[in-house]
């Protein structure tokens, strides 16, 4: 569980830098404008890999019993989260309105998963990322960060369709990637 906690902390620190313009500017000046994005992406992927390794190596230790209806709440909140991921990836007016669609996506995803899981590893992962997302949105808001003002016609609809498609794909890949079955469109075997 220490590896999992370290991965969540590393992920949080990386995104904390992105939420504070002077820190982000300093890192950009050190790496160069061209290399900041790729370096941030690689560092984030490394943090995610540490989280996955930590998650998979964590033993189950029950902390609380989630409600029986928690799975259904998780389906709904995670679906909203994936719609927000779609909004983040496209340049529509919804991105301007939500301002921090990826942070909002993580908040919905984490809260949903806390309704469905009551073990210590889940509390570290989902609770930790919930705190990171809330802190990121709060700090970025306080620092006046806004999405790019570029808005493209038709991107609102595309973003919602893409988010819904990602949700559908993830429900099918969840057993292979995470090791926890959700529901399947077809029966294998």
Query: How much is the pTM?
Result: 0.89
Q: What's the rounded Cα separation, in Å, for the pair 106 and 120?
A: 19
Q: Which residues pair with 119 in a beta bridge?
A: 62
The pLDDT-based confidence of 183 (bands split at 50, 70, 90) is: low
Query: Could you report the per-residue pLDDT of 45-75, keeping only the tens digit for each?
Result: 999 999 999 998 999 999 999 999 999 999 9
Place of tokens 């429900």: 171
Is residue 51 within 8 Å of 2, Cβ to Cβ? Answer: no
Query: pLDDT by residue (tens digit) across 26-45?
Result: 999 999 989 999 999 999 99
CA distance 65 to 37: 41
Rounded Cα gap, residues 112 and 101, in angstroms: 16
């Amino acid at each position: 569980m220490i590896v999992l906690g370290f991965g969540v902390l590393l992920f949080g620190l990386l995104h904390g830098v992105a939420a504070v313009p002077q820190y982000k500017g300093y890192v950009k000046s050190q790496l160069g404008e061209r290399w900041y994005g790729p370096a941030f992406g690689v560092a984030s992927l490394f943090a995610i890999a540490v989280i996955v390794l930590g998650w998979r190596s964590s033993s189950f230790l029950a902390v609380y019993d989630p409600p029986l209806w928690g799975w259904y709440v998780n389906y709904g909140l995670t679906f909203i989260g994936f719609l927000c991921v779609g909004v983040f990836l496209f340049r529509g007016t919804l991105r301007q309105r939500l301002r921090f669609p990826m942070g909002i996506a993580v908040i919905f995803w984490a809260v949903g998963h806390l309704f469905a899981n009551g073990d210590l590893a889940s509390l570290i992962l989902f609770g930790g990322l919930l705190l990171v997302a809330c802190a990121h949105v709060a700090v970025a808001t306080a620092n006046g960060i806004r999405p790019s003002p570029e808005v493209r016609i038709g991107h609102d609809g595309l973003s919602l369709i893409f988010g819904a498609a990602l949700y559908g794909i993830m429900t099918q890949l969840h057993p292979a990637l995470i090791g926890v079955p959700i529901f399947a469109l077809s029966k294998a075997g």
